[in-house]
Amino acid sequence: MIQMSRLALAVAASLLAAGTQAALKGEVLVLLSSERQLPLQDGQGYPTGYYLNEFGVPADQLLKAGYKLVLVTPKGNAPSVDPRSIDPSYFGGDAAEMKRIEEVVQNLPDIDDTLSVSEVLAGDPSRYAGLFVPGGHAPLIDLANNPDVGALLRHFHQAGKPTAAICHGPIALLSAQQDPAGYQAALARGDKPAAKGWVYKGYRMTIFSDPEEQVFEGSLKGQRLLFYPATAMAIAGGDMGYAKAWQPNVVVDRELITGQNPFSDKALAKALLEKLAEQAQRSKQGN
C-alpha cells in the first residue's frame, strides 16, 4: 500500500508539472537596476531602487496570465526597493493590497539572485516573449548609459517584441544608441547632445514628466538631479506625450509601451498583456 501511495503521488506530481508547463505562455524578462544610491548635483546620494507598485502590479498581472518572469540586473545582484514606494497611496490607499503585492515580489524565485545582462546576452535572448522595465529613480544610474542594456533593447526592437517601461523605466531606452554613457555625461553638464543611432528616435512615448519631477526634487531639501529624464528623452528625439501630473497615461507605438508615472501601473500591465497576446497570435498564424 505504501508503494502504491508513493506511485500515486509521483504520478500526480508529474501530471501537475505537465499541466503547469502546458499553461505557461512564455517568459518575460524584467530589467531592474543594480543600484540603490542616486547621485545628485552636489555629490550626495539619494536612497533609491525600484518602485514597489511599478514592479509588483504588472508582475502580478503577468504571473496571473501565465507568464514566467526572469529577473535581470546589470550586475546580476538583488535589486533594491525604494523605501518611499512602500506606501498605500500607490495602491489606492489599500494597505492589504500593498502587502499582497510586496509578497508577490518577495516570492519571485530570482529576486535575491538575478541574472546579469551579460549572461542574458550570452544565452538566448530570443527565448523571451517580451521585456519589462519597472521605474523608480534607480534606472537613471545604470540603465540609461549601459551598452549591454542597449544591446538587449536592440534585440527586442529588431524582433518587434513587446518592450514595456514605466515612470523612470523608459530612461533605459537611451542606452540603445551609439554612445549612451557620453550622452548621459553631456546631459549632466547641461548640454543638449545628439543621440546618434538611437533606435527609438521618432517613437511616441512618455516618461515621468518635468512637473512631476519638480515635485519630487522639491523634497530633496535644495539638492538637484543631474538631469530631468523627460527633457533627456525629448532631446534624444522621442515624440513625448504627457497627461496631467499624477494621472495614469500609457503610450503605445509599435512594440514600445511606456507609462508616465506610478499610477499608470495597471494600464501598462493591460497594454503589455495585449501586446503579448497579439504576438502569440501572429506566431501561431506564422506556424
pLDDT class for 22, splitting at 50, 70, 90?
A: very low
Average pLDDT over residues 194-219: 95
Distance CA 175, CA 65 (A): 30
Residue 44 has a pLDDT of 83
Q: What is the pLDDT of residues 151-193, one digit of tens each?
A: 999 999 999 999 999 999 999 999 999 999 999 999 999 999 9
Strand pairing class (45-47; 37-39): antiparallel
Torsion from C-alpha of 76, 61, 241, 203, nearest 10 degrees: 60
Residue 52 has a pLDDT of 98
| Structural domains of the chain, with CATH | 25-286 (3.40.50.880)
Average pLDDT over residues 217-240: 92
Please say if the pLDDT value at position 218 is more than 90. no
Average pLDDT over residues 219-234: 90
This prediction's pTM? 0.90
pLDDT class for 19, splitting at 50, 70, 90?
A: very low
Residue 125 has a pLDDT of 97
Residue 222 has a pLDDT of 78
Distance CA 145, CA 158 (A): 20
Q: What is the pLDDT of residues 47-96, one digit of tens each?
A: 899 999 999 999 999 999 999 999 999 999 999 999 999 999 999 999 99
Please say if the pLDDT value at position 17 is more than 80. no
Please say if the pLDDT value at position 16 is more than 90. no
pLDDT class for 46, splitting at 50, 70, 90?
A: confident
Which residues face 29 on adjacent strands?
70, 131
Tell me if 171 sits within 8 A of 143, measured CB to CB.
Answer: yes
Return the percentage of the chain with pLDDT > 90, whole number: 81
Distance CA 287, CA 77 (A): 38
Please say if the pLDDT value at position 13 is more than 70. no
CB atoms within 10 A of CB 234: 16
Q: What angle do CA 239, 84, 63 make, to 5 degrees?
A: 70
Q: For residue 210, what are the CA distances in angstroms to 33, 214, 239?
A: 22, 6, 15
Residue 287 has a pLDDT of 62
